[in-house]
Amino acid sequence: MSDTYSVEVRITPRQGILDPEGETIARALENLGYAGVNSVRAGRLVRMEVDAASADGARSMVEKMCEELIANPVIEDYEVLVHEGEPVG
């Protein structure tokens, strides 16, 4: 039997990789008068619902998806968050 789990994947550029979007945001914040913002890293968020036998199974499946398609592990880091507790549905 499987349950449906709500999963979030947070993807960001690896340290040392240029982040032009983050740099643009940092400059714009400075131009708007927000002092003290020293670094901005921009990324993306992917939300999904997956069927799995357990939360660990859901995490493992989504990590494999990240390695194969969702993230580029050469230049991006990712974090998989399985929302524990009550499965969806």
Spatial contact of 84 and 8, defined as CB atoms under 8 Å apart = no
**Fold annotation for 3-17+43-82:** Mth169; Chain: A , (3.30.1280)
What pLDDT does residue 32 have?
Answer: 96
What integer pLDDT is reported at residue 85 of this predicted model?
59
Q: What is the pTM of this model?
A: 0.83
Query: SS3 of 3, please?
Result: strand
pLDDT in tens for each of the 89 residues of the chain?
Answer: 789 999 999 999 999 999 999 999 999 999 999 999 999 999 999 999 999 999 999 999 999 999 999 999 999 999 999 997 555 55
Per the CB < 8 A criterion, the answer to whether 57 and 50 are in contact is: no
Beta strands in the chain (DSSP E): 3-13, 44-52, 76-82
Contact predicate 8/81, CB 8 Å = yes
